[in-house]
Structure 1
Amino acid sequence: MQVSVESTSALERRMTIGVPAERIETEVNKRLQQTASRAKVAGFRPGKVPMSVIRQRYESAARQEALGDLIQSTFYEAIVEQKLNPAGAPAVEPKVFEKGKDLEYVATFEIFPEFQVASFDNVEIERLQADVADSDVDNMLDILRKQNTSFENVDRAAENGDQLNIDFVGKLDGEAFAGGSAKGTALVLGSGRMIPGFEDALVGVKAGEERVITPTFPADYQNLDLAGKTAEFTVTVNSVAAPKLPELNDAFFALFGIKEGGLEGFRTEVRKNMERELRQAIKSKVKNQVMEALLASNPVEVPKALVSNEIDRLRAQAVQQFGSNIKADQLPAELFEEQAKRRVLLGLVVAEVVKQFELKPDEARVREMIQEMASAYQEPEQVVSWYYKNDQQLGEVRSVVLEEQVVDTVLQKAKVTDKQVSYEEAVKPAEAPQAA
């Protein structure tokens, strides 16, 4: 077998492979022998069909099958011989594909980039430090109460925070428009659920009142037919209900699975959850900074094939997330290209850190992570057991732990500054990078 390799770009390789005719005929004959042992031909007993008949009937198909298998196997032999690491399936172009002649074909493909991860010495990381104070627990209790607010009908003018039950009909230039009308809609004033001006115009209404309001749709409204236009809504108020916060009692605690310990027991459980959230938030922000630093310090060219595969994954995720009837391949690739490149590059860099520092998942940390996740459930041991009986889920946890070990490896050499902040600041989501 003859092999020659040409570099057509930094990552693309054009490999010409020649396979001797003798090897092709050996493979063809092998398939014909296999066919002869089982072929059923009228006038002959099974296994007794003359080879001349077998060749006449089946040689063309056997040759096509042999050539396909030879291309696959010789390509693999060639990349092993040339010590190449393809980043996707090759595009194969036959040059000589004739009976009795050597097979010659060209395989064009990309390889994974070879690089050394840049030094971590200049990486700067800000690591937040925070505690859960009693006042933070108090605030969380208020949030939980508000999330479980009930409403009671009142006979007074509506205020912000009240819930209205309304019917409304919207019109543009005197004509009703699609999606502009509804009946029996529950609306909390001040929630920002409706377009600007709609809720404000209903402050002060009473049950049974009809009010005409004229809010304006935002200039960037998703429906371009309505964007920037002023509509007229006739709103009928069916009821006005005031918010009522639940009491901190056993019935409320039971909503969260807390049946013993009263208020102190509930506060203890809430604090545990807040501390867990705090640890995860701090860890996540450090990890994001590390990953950003790895991306910035390793501007490596990425294979187009990997980017294309990642775009397809992102398309599928988008369709699944939004439940659209559109097919994934109908979404423009350009929408996902930058994010796909970023994810591919980050994957390559992280993999190189793992390889360079010979990292393997720390099984003690894997178990610790599973136990921490399981602690949020009523029967944690069952959750731990479930993870260890499911290879896919266990593999995902191992991948997360391995990423954490990559972060730890970077932090050992990076310049890390600790910053004391409040609980609220620590758990506040970080702004997403523009490239994402």
Structure 2
Amino acid sequence: MKTAVEELSPTRVKLTVEVPFQELESSLQAAYKKVAKQVRVPGFRPGKVPARIIEQRFGRAVVLEETLNDAIPKLYSKAVDEQDLFPVSQPQIEVTKIEDGEQVEFTAEVDVRPAFEVPDFEGTEVVVSSAKVTDEDVDAQLDALRQRFATLTGVDRPAKDGDYVVMDMRAEINGENLDEQQASDVSYEVGAGSILQGLDDALRGMSAGEEKTFRTTLVGGEHAGQEADVIVKVKSVKEKVLPELDDEFAQLSSEFDTLDELKESIRAQVRRNKLIEQVRQAREKALDALLEKIDIPLPESALKVEIEARKQYLDQQIAQSGLSREAFFRLYQTTEEERLAEIEKTAARALKAGFVLDKIVKSEELGVSEQELTDFVVRQAMQMGVAPNTLAKQLADTNQLTLAMMEIAREKAKTLLGDAAKVKDEDGNDVDLKAIYAELNPQQEQAEGEQDKEDKDDKGSES
């Protein structure tokens, strides 16, 4: 097989592949067997029709077509591997010459990862957030815990921000009641920022038994986007009562007997979270710094696919929310134009980052072990709330294990970038990622240390 590559642009190539007919022999025999199973010829059982009879009855062209259908995808993959190309789109293949018994020629145009070099990333300077735990950090976690264990107590006064009301709601357009916009015994925190504009303003100052009407734009259902009169009737007003911070609260909310023990546990967990965040920031910022040094033209087809996938996911989120598009974006305090612009920016960054990380994976020969793949599946399964075996089967059935391995390898490349960086926190202190790894996973560090000692002992005994 002979392959010539023509660069059509920095991100697109044309391969011209010439194949001697003898290299098609296995595909040719497979084609005869396939056609033999499909045709019916008197005197022969299905699948037992001789090749010469097939050609006499149905023509040589039928067999050649099946031969090329089987052979060309394999030959294309072989040509790509031999030329060390990295396709990022489906190829446009055209058979340009068939000389039966002599040679077959085809061309394939495909978008590819552009050629580029990864500059030296050793010692890249990055700044991450501080891992210092303050009393304010601990107090914030304690307050969140108190909120979880708060109780609601009925009050005989007008509602204010932070109170909870139980209410009935309905909506009318031109005096006609909308069945789909009715709800009873709805519990709501006043001032929480409802997507139904005007609700908080209406509820402030209302007491149990009172009814009020306000005009707004409906955000969900058949009449989403239309102006309507919303009638709200408050049935009860309750205030949130937080538990006292004492040993009794510690026993109620945790496995600890005293408040001091609870605080120490929270302080340790906050530190752990901050250390994890330092590691994450170091890797991401080291990658960002590397991306800034590299100018890579992005294949339009690959970028379009990346953007469309993110747009589809956004559309799914909106559909699942049951809100109008306008209400959905208002809920997230943004506009559709801003979100779409962000999608295009993040899609381009993700595509470029993928190219760079894949290049590092290859140059550093970063492999993925079976145990690493298993650990990845277990973590993903826990996040999704499914059994690991179920997820593993799903990945295998949908041919996504390769994608999973690519994601693992890219994370290892990102780890390599972070470890090679010179990291400081925002207070100017040096950050030692290896020391963080040891603090976060002391058992793993101990196991690796023991393994290193065994390796050294083995080498010593050999010498």
Scaled by the length of structure 2, what TM-score is found? 0.66
1:302 is paired with a residue whose SS is coil
CA–CA distance in 1 between the matches of 2:267 and 2:5?
Answer: 63
Residues 170 and 297 of structure 1, relative CA distance in 2, 3 Å threshold: same
**RMSD of aligned residue pairs (Cα, Å):** 4.7
1:254-307 deviation digits (Å, cap 9, x = unpaired): 675x33433233223322221222122333333333232222221201234433
- The 2-side partners of 1:259 and 1:271 are apart by 15
Mind listing any 5+ residue stretches in structure 2 that lack a counterpart? 323-339, 383-387, 429-463
Distance 1:68 1:397, change over 3 A: closer
> 1:17: how far off?
2.4
Residue 238 of structure 1 and its aligned partner are, at CA, apart by: 0.8
1:169 and 1:33, CA in 2 relative to 1: closer, same or farther beyond 3 A?
Answer: closer
User: How many aligned residue pairs are there?
Assistant: 387
- Fraction of identical pairs, as percent: 29
Cα deviation digits, residues 53-97 of structure 1 (max 9, x gap) = 243246544322212233233334434454444334321012234
* SS class of match (2:310): helix
1:18 is paired with a residue whose SS is strand
Report Cα offsets for 1:3-38 as digits up to 9, x if no partner. 433221112111222334565578536754898899
CA distance in 2, matches of 1:264, 1:122: 42
Determine if contact 1:32/1:55 at 8 Å carries over to the other structure. no
SS at 1:158 equivalent: coil
Q: Which residue of 2 aligns with 1:405?
A: 416
Greater fraction of residues in helix: 2
Q: Aligned to 2:72, what secondary structure does the other structure show?
A: helix
Distance 2:79 2:412 in 1: 36
2:199 counterpart of 1:184: no
Alpha-carbon spacing, 1:26–1:241, altered in 2? closer, same or farther (3 Å): closer
Gaps of 5+ in 1: 327-333, 377-382, 422-436
Residue 7 of structure 1 is matched in structure 2 by 7
**8 Å Cα contact 2:217-2:226 kept in structure 1:** no
User: Equivalents in 2 of 1:48, 1:400: separation in Å?
Assistant: 53
1:123/1:171 CA distance change after superposition, 3 Å: farther
**Does the CA-based 8 Å contact 1:18-1:103 persist in structure 2?**
yes
Once the two structures are superposed, residues 293-348 of structure 1 have per-residue CA deviations (whole angstroms, 9 ceiling, x without a partner) of 2222212012344334534643564466556499xxxxxxx875443322110111
Alignment of 1:38-77 (within 5 A): 42-43=42-43, 52-57=52-57, 59-77=60-78
TM-score (norm 1): 0.70
Deviation of 1:192 (Å): 1.5
Corresponding position of 1:347: 354
1:21-420 aligned within 5 A: 21=21, 28=28, 31-32=31-32, 42-43=42-43, 52-57=52-57, 59-97=60-98, 99=100, 102-120=103-121, 124-171=125-172, 174=175, 176=177, 181-193=182-194, 195-213=196-214, 223-226=224-227, 232-248=229-245, 253=250, 258-311=254-307, 313-314=309-310, 317-318=313-314, 321=317, 324=320, 336-356=343-363, 400-409=411-420, 411-412=421-422, 417-420=424-427
Paired amino acid for 1:341: A
Using the alignment, how far apart are the partners of 1:84 and 1:115 within structure 2?
12
Partners in 2 of 1:360 and 1:3 — Cα distance?
Answer: 29
One-letter amino acid of the structure 1 residue matched with residue 271 of structure 2? E
Give the whole-Å Cα distance in 1 for the aligned partners of 2:82 and 2:37. Answer: 36
